[in-house]
Amino acid sequence: MIIGLGTLINVITILVGSALGIWLGSRLPERVRQTVIAGLGLFTLCYGLSMFLKTQNSLIVLGSLLVGALLGEWWKIEDGVKSLGGWLEHKFLRQNRGEQTRFVRGFMTTSLVYCIGPVAILGAFQDGLSGDYKLLAIKAILDGFASLAFASSLGLGVMFSSLSVLVYQGTLTLLAHQLQSLVTPTMTNEMSAVGGVILVGIAIGSLLEIRPIRSGNFLPALFIAPIVVAILEMLGVHF
Which range has highest mean pLDDT (9-18, 89-98, 148-157)? 9-18
Does the structure show a pLDDT above 80 at 50? yes
pLDDT band for position 26 (cuts 50, 70, 90): low
* 239 in any annotated domain: no
Tell me what pLDDT residue 238 has.
72
* 36 in any annotated domain: yes
* 212 in any annotated domain: yes
In the predicted model, what is the mean pLDDT of residues 87-111? 64
Q: How many domains does the chain have?
A: 1
Helix axes 185-202, 118-130, angle to 10 degrees: 150
* 154 in any annotated domain: yes
* Three-state SS at 55: coil
What range defines the domain where residue 203 resides? 5-234
Handedness of CA 190, 192, 194, 200 (dihedral sign): negative
* 56 in any annotated domain: yes
Instruction: Write down the pTM of the prediction.
Output: 0.78
